[in-house]
Amino acid sequence: MKVLGYVFWAAVAATAAVCLGGIAILHGEHINSMWLVLAAACTYAIGYRFYAAFISARVMALNDKRATPAERLRNGHDFEPTNKWIVFGHHFAAIAGPGPLVGPVLAAQFGYLPGTLWIIIGAVLGGAVQDFVVLFASMRRDGKSLGQMAREEIGKVGGFIALVTVLIIMVILLAVVGLVVVNALKGSPWGTFTIAATMPIALFMGLYLRYMRPGKVLECSAIGFVLVIASIFGGRAVGESAAWAPVFTLGAMALAIAVIVYGYLASVLPVWLFLAPRDYLSTFVKLGVVLMLGVGILFARPELQLPAFTRFVDGTGPIFAGKIFPFCFITIACGAISGFHSLISSGTTPKMIAKETHAWPVGYGSMLLESFVAIMAMIAACVLQPGVYFAVNSPAGVVGATPAAAVATISSWGFPVTTADMATLAQNVGEQTLFYRTGGAPSLALGMAHIFAKSGGGAAVIGFWYHFAIMFEALFILTIIAAGTRVGRFMIEDLIGRAAGSEKKSGWTGVLVTSAAIVAAWGYFLIQGVRDPLGGINSLWPLFGIANQLLAGIALCVATTIILKMHGARYMWITCVPLVWLVTVTFTAAWQKIFSPLPSLGFLAQADKLAQGPQTPAVETLIFNARLDAVVCGILMVLVAIVLADSLRVWVGILRGTREAEIREAPFVLSRLQAEEL
């Protein structure tokens, strides 16, 4: 039996090596997406079975005889021992956001290879390790949050900086995902109607759950899903109606204002009325679509049309400027390593873990699944013809303000495309145009529609699938905007409360004012993105990536400190290697975004170039925005440098023996939980 095990894992390792080698070597020809699927699945299996097992046994010494906080502090609310696969599903649903879908689509401008390798290797050696170690640390500390652990393990500064960094990330995140939705819906009456219809549907669901069938969330979500699908068909009728199509054909600025108003209302309305039903519905739709996409790829096994590398590895990409190093690793955050996951791993999840060994599939395994979602998004982007991919994702400021100019520019890059191709494609999916749809969502929707249509229905249903994909992306992005605005409001209240030395809850005026403050903050960046002649994504997505990766840096500092206190320097490399990589990548990217002399890349160079031209109020605003982005980037670098310096001070003290390596774990209590209770 043992020999069979060796043979099996040797075969898995060989398959991983062959597939990784295959996608790296087979340049110059179209490869099938199954190479990527197999390379990822086999590498994940090896990482899960051996690397995660090593961390579990040697570093964490997971012990099922030790009672978890879910058992010791069981209260029927947050702390509750739960079946490990249910916690796995719950945790995955919590960590899966738009990041692993949008990031790989944007990074495909380098070709499929760099992003794919980073997604696979980054997740196995970095992202999954971060999530796993933070979950373990929180589980051993009564479910404490990352901020609390940073404060206790490193110092007060670390905890405060974690809070401020999260607030800045929230602002940039909400702006950038808002921009993704705006660019997906501009000039699209079908899409705009479908998304507008989700608002009354959510209100109906809220009232249904509150007064008609209290507690029947699954039933209510099923009704909501049927109504949303009906709204996609309604959207098609609206798009074809001479009377209604103009009403729902909105420009980018009008949509941006609508998103800002939506965010504000969602933040101040009672949570049960609007946000909660949307959240339930979008989570179920998200899980369903991820599953559908996986099945669709396995069924259709599409060929990748984008090459392994494009000419834009030199940093002259139209979607965002910058070379593979460091920008590929910034653009793809959530599919490889995401600081935000550390907040989830130290949030609800550690309070539900019944046995310590369950942290292995939940912490490490969930991240591998998230990484696989990113691989699927990469495949969806790469099944598009390269010319179409660049025509959809490139801003007018780069490729030319008319379709004829855009196709001429893109064809001159070696990616042939014609206006007739684009017009036919737009007509097939029920859109007026697909040019300049920056942000990643429309090209992802096109790729998904292509895969779904190939799996069944063909060209006749591609319009439905395109709008289904747009609905799915916009539905859960708008839910993130609503929830994020609310969380940002609480953070501002918390910071004000700390500054005033008061824990008093805000009244209605406070709610309205703090909601306005957070909406104004992300709304400003959203409007900035809409006005940006380079499309906004060029500046905002790297800022978001840098912020998110810097938060991962803070999480890895906490994780390294805890491992150092447990074992000395012996196993520090497990979290130190990804930490050093992340710090190198993020600081290089941040430095280039601020100080690069290229106006397409550096914020200050961009401001200087604009300052040399004719000055109008619009240009002055662009100059201010570029300098503001540079300042935000600089603040993030300084904040994380402080946490790093603080951590290094603690590590050196422990290694020299001048500082006590106090392990702040909860004391050992023998578990009495029986397996059948789960």
Residues in the site for another protein, rule: CB under 8 A?
A: 75-78, 80, 82-83, 85-90, 93-99, 166, 169-170, 173, 177, 209-211, 214-215, 217-218, 221, 271-272, 275-276, 279-280, 283-284, 287, 333-334, 338, 340-341, 343-344, 347-348, 479-480, 483-484, 486-487, 490, 544, 548
Residue number with CB closer to another protein (33 or 479)? 479
Minimum Å gap between C-beta 214 and another protein is: 4
Question: Is the CA virtual torsion 172, 372, 383, 297 positive or negative?
Answer: negative
Whole-number Å distance between alpha carbons of 258 and 261: 5
CA nearest 599: which of 616, 565, 622? 622
Residues 129, 578 contacting (CB under 8 angstroms): yes
Residue number with CB closer to another protein (564 or 589)? 589
The DSSP 8-state label assigned to residue 97 in this structure reads -
* Contacts of 250 by beta carbon, 8 Å cutoff, 6+ apart: 185, 186, 187, 192, 258
Determine the angle formed by the axes of helices 441-455 and 462-500, rounding to 10 degrees.
140
Instruction: Enumerate the H helices of 568-602 as residue ranges.
Output: 573-595
Residues 626, 607 contacting (CB under 8 angstroms): yes
Token pair in block for residue 3 = 């020999």
The amino acid at 379: I
CA nearest 78: which of 352, 276, 279? 352
Minimum Å gap between C-beta 368 and another protein is: 16
Minimum Å gap between C-beta 567 and another protein is: 30
Minimum Å gap between C-beta 100 and another protein is: 9
Buried-state track 43-80, b at ≥16 Cβ within 10 A, e below 16: bbbbbbeebbeebbeebbebeeebbbbbbbebeeeebe
Residue number with CB closer to another protein (108 or 172)? 172
Residue number with CB closer to another protein (275 or 384)? 275
Minimum Å gap between C-beta 209 and another protein is: 8
Minimum Å gap between C-beta 89 and another protein is: 3
* Contacts of 118 by beta carbon, 8 Å cutoff, 6+ apart: 107, 328, 329, 332, 336
Minimum Å gap between C-beta 170 and another protein is: 7
Whole-number Å distance between alpha carbons of 616 and 533: 15
Minimum Å gap between C-beta 374 and another protein is: 13
The label of the residue with tokens 């980073």 reads 118
CA nearest 291: which of 429, 181, 455? 455
Residue number with CB closer to another protein (266 or 626)? 266
Whole-number Å distance between alpha carbons of 234 and 238: 6
Whole-number Å distance between alpha carbons of 148 and 582: 22
Token pair in block for residue 445 = 């929707």
* Contacts of 85 by beta carbon, 8 Å cutoff, 6+ apart: 361
Residue 501, CA distances (Å) to 494, 513, 602 in order: 10, 19, 40
Residue number with CB closer to another protein (177 or 293)? 177
CA angle 296, 299, 303 (to 5 degrees): 90
Residue number with CB closer to another protein (33 or 338)? 338
* Contacts of 169 by beta carbon, 8 Å cutoff, 6+ apart: 339, 340, 544, 547, 548, 551
Minimum Å gap between C-beta 436 and another protein is: 25
Residue number with CB closer to another protein (240 or 677)? 677
Minimum Å gap between C-beta 557 and another protein is: 19
Residue number with CB closer to another protein (210 or 567)? 210
Residue number with CB closer to another protein (75 or 509)? 75
From start to end of 474-617, where are the E strands? none
Residue number with CB closer to another protein (23 or 95)? 95
Minimum Å gap between C-beta 548 and another protein is: 7
Residue number with CB closer to another protein (77 or 656)? 77
The CA-to-CA distance between both ends of the chain, in Å, stands at 29
CA nearest 127: which of 366, 329, 336? 336
Q: What are phi and psi of 676, to 5 degrees?
A: -70, -15
Residue number with CB closer to another protein (186 or 486)? 486
CA angle 399, 400, 406 (to 5 degrees): 65
The amino acid at 590: A
Residues 522, 178 contacting (CB under 8 angstroms): yes
Residue number with CB closer to another protein (353 or 399)? 353
Minimum Å gap between C-beta 674 and another protein is: 18
Minimum Å gap between C-beta 301 and another protein is: 25
Residue number with CB closer to another protein (272 or 573)? 272
CA nearest 330: which of 62, 539, 86? 539
Whole-number Å distance between alpha carbons of 381 and 331: 15
Minimum Å gap between C-beta 434 and another protein is: 26
Minimum Å gap between C-beta 331 and another protein is: 13
